[in-house]
């Protein structure tokens, strides 16, 4: 049964405290998550480290942290509550980012190891924010407004990447940008004091006979495992576009023969401007089509066209490369919808585990995508073709998973897994 809301009621739900705080939290999360990609080259140069080899290692360690953190925070979210994850995760990544700001002042011959360790810890902390926020918002909002609400969270939150780039440019120092990110995170803790726990979670939490936060439950049932795997594969193109095409924009720029350097920081910023717009749109598209699957599928096709033009079209200036970054960003703006689908597929007792591990497994799989990208280049395959081969794999798996996963539009969230 569909409930009809007045405009005032609709706005009251969509701009409630849980939605606002989740959006601000994801804003800081994305700022800190993408900051290393933006300052990778200047920070490693300043520290006397090789941006090419050491940069990939540090990025991979951050992604390993996200993978591990996704499991830790997801299980805690179902066992202890969504709010415990929101508090714990932000303290972890904020302190790690503040510590990164002190790297230029550390006298050590092992700065590379210290940097890797700090980004690993930051990755663990950053893993909890989105899943817990989306789960809380999904369980708080009426089912008719879930898609729009989660899109507001992600659409606003993703602007953190834009602010991160401008912060680096305006502050003139990458280590100050780390301090600012950590400071914003600590300040957010004050806003979270007034948020109430999800009522749906409270009801399930009282049932001590029910298994909660069990990662094993995703693997002990064939149907549930296949559904879980498909949820992960749907998100692959998002991090292919950011982790390969944007973060290694300088390499693709050289491969296109662009005389002026293409800056990864600018590529990331323009991509996230597009992603933010796409995330706002995805919720309304899904609401209009009354389908999560159709919205994601159409956005995947739009992204594939943009990526093809970026790789094989006549890209002769940095401006054109950044234009295609915006294009693929708008297309991969289905990120919020993909995380929402992950939350909606599974019962309340393992919902936070699903919503937190799924996006972080996607982020963690960037390690595999960068490995393939580097492997293809080592085999003397041109940079553009190497990127295209990785992208083709990511898009094929994502499109198949999108078309074959159960539809969740309008699905009630008050159910459990046995």
> What whole-number distance in Å separates Cα of residue 256 and Cα of residue 381?
15
Q: Which among 200, 162, 107, 99 has a CA at the least distance from the CA of 415?
A: 200
pLDDT of residue 354: 86
Q: Which among 35, 50, 53 has a CA at the least distance from the CA of 374?
A: 53
**Which two tokens mark 336?**
């919020």
**Which two tokens mark 404?**
């074959």
> What whole-number distance in Å separates Cα of residue 271 and Cα of residue 275?
6
Which residue's entry shows tokens 């979270």? 192
Q: Secondary structure of the chain: what % helix, strand, coil (to 5)?
A: 80, 0, 20
Total residues found in the chain within this entry: 418
> What whole-number distance in Å separates Cα of residue 343 and Cα of residue 133?
11
CB distance 132 to 198 below 8 Å:
no
> What whole-number distance in Å separates Cα of residue 356 and Cα of residue 152?
18
| Mean pLDDT of successive 10-residue stretches along the chain, which has 418 residues | 69 80 84 85 90 84 87 84 79 93 88 94 87 78 79 81 84 90 86 63 64 80 93 95 92 93 88 87 85 93 96 93 96 87 85 85 87 93 96 97 89 75
Q: Which among 42, 132, 50, 119 has a CA at the least distance from the CA of 88?
A: 132
Give the N- to C-terminal CA distance of the chain in Å, as an integer.
Answer: 26
Contacts of 110 (CB under 8 A, 6+ apart): none
pTM tops 0.75, yes or no = yes
Which residue's entry shows tokens 């994801």? 26
Tell how far CA 382 is from the center of its chain.
28
3-class SS at 234?
helix
Beta strand residue intervals within 297-338, DSSP E:
none
Q: Which among 241, 264, 277, 216 has a CA at the least distance from the CA of 363?
A: 241
Q: Which among 342, 339, 348, 76 has a CA at the least distance from the CA of 201?
A: 348
Would you tell me how many other CB atoms lie within 10 Å of the CB of residue 95?
A: 17
pLDDT of residue 3: 62
pLDDT of residue 75: 86
CB distance 370 to 59 below 8 Å:
yes
pLDDT of residue 250: 92
pLDDT of residue 183: 92
pLDDT of residue 244: 94
CB distance 238 to 304 below 8 Å:
no
The structural domains of the chain, ordered by start, are: 13-404 (1.20.1250.20)
Q: Which among 74, 40, 75, 82 has a CA at the least distance from the CA of 57?
A: 40
3-class SS at 29?
helix
**Which two tokens mark 227?**
């559904």
> What whole-number distance in Å separates Cα of residue 418 and Cα of residue 411?
18
What does the radius of gyration of the chain's CA atoms come to, in whole angstroms? 20
Would you tell me how many other CB atoms lie within 10 Å of the CB of residue 158?
A: 30
């Amino acid at each position: 049964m569909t409930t009809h809301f007045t405009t005032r009621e609709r706005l009251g739900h969509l701009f409630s405290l849980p939605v606002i705080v989740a959006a601000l939290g994801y804003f800081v999360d994305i700022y800190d998550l993408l900051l290393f990609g933006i300052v990778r080259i200047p920070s490693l140069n300043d520290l006397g480290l090789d941006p090419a080899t050491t940069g990939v290692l540090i990025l991979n360690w951050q992604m390993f942290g996200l993978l591990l953190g996704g499991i830790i925070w997801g299980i805690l979210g179902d066992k202890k509550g969504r709010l415990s994850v929101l508090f714990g995760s932000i303290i972890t990544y904020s302190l790690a980012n503040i510590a990164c700001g002190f790297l230029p002042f550390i006298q050590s011959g092992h700065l590379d190891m210290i940097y890797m360790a700090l980004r690993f810890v930051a990755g663990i902390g950053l893993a909890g924010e989105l899943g817990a926020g989306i789960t809380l918002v999904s369980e708080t909002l009426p089912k008719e407004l879930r898609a729009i609400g989660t899109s507001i969270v992600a659409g606003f939150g993703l602007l953190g990447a834009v602010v991160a780039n401008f912060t680096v440019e305006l502050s003139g120092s990458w280590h100050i940008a780390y301090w600012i990110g950590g400071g914003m995170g600590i300040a957010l803790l004050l806003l979270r004091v007034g948020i109430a726990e999800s009522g749906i979670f409270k009801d399930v939490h009282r049932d001590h006979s029910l298994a909660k936060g069990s990662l094993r439950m995703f693997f002990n049932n064939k149907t549930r495992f296949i559904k879980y795997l498909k949820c992960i594969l749907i998100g692959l193109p998002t991090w292919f576009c950011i982790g390969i095409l944007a973060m290694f924009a300088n390499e693709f720029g050289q491969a296109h023969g662009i005389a002026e350097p293409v800056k990864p920081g600018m590529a990331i910023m323009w991509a996230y401007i597009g992603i933010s717009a796409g995330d706002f749109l995805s919720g309304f598209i899904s609401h209009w089509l009354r389908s999560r699957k159709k919205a994601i599928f159409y956005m995947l096709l739009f992204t594939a066209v943009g990526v093809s033009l970026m790789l094989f079209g006549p890209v002769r200036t940095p401006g054109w490369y950044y234009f295609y970054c915006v294009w693929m960003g708008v297309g991969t703006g289905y990120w919020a919808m993909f995380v929402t689908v992950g939350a909606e597929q599974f019962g309340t007792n393992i919902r936070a585990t699903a919503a937190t591990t799924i996006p972080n497994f996607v982020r963690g799989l960037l390690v595999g995508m960068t490995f393939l990208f580097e492997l293809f280049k080592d085999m003397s395959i041109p940079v553009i073709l190497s990127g295209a081969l990785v992208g083709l794999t990511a898009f094929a798996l994502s499109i198949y998973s999108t078309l074959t996963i159960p539809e969740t539009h309008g699905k009630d969230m008050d159910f459990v897994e046995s």
